[in-house]
Copies of this chain bind each other. A is one copy, B any other.
Amino acid sequence: MVDEALRRRASAELPGWVLEGEELIGRWRFADFAEALAGAVRVGALAERADHHPDMRVGWGRLEVRLTTHSAKALTSRDVDLAGKISQALTPPHA
């Protein structure tokens, strides 16, 4: 179960992100496939810098980012931190 303080922090700091189990999920729409893939590449650069890596789904005009901490089998502050950076770099995900 997600730590209550962490849940409150995610809720306060991460508009548009959805918490499902131990995963933070953000979804974006883009104009086309290339834009969505470019979004994934930007997320990838942030992930490398944080040494913390999401699962991503890319489709035509769609990007989904899923964050959890596999080593802890739980959501951690590293996920919330990276989600915040992704929101800054792209935009907040659509709700």
Contact = CB atoms under 8 A, between A and B. Distances in A.
How many copies of this chain does one complex carry? 2
A50 B92 CA distance: 31
Query: How big is chain A's contact interface, by range?
Result: 10 to 19
Interface stretch (A3-11, A17-25, A53-61): A53-61
Interface string A23-66: 00000000001100100110010011000011111111000000
A53 B55 CA distance: 19
B53 A40 contact: no
A57 B60 contact: no
A84 B58 CA distance: 20
Interface string A56-80: 1111100000000010000000000
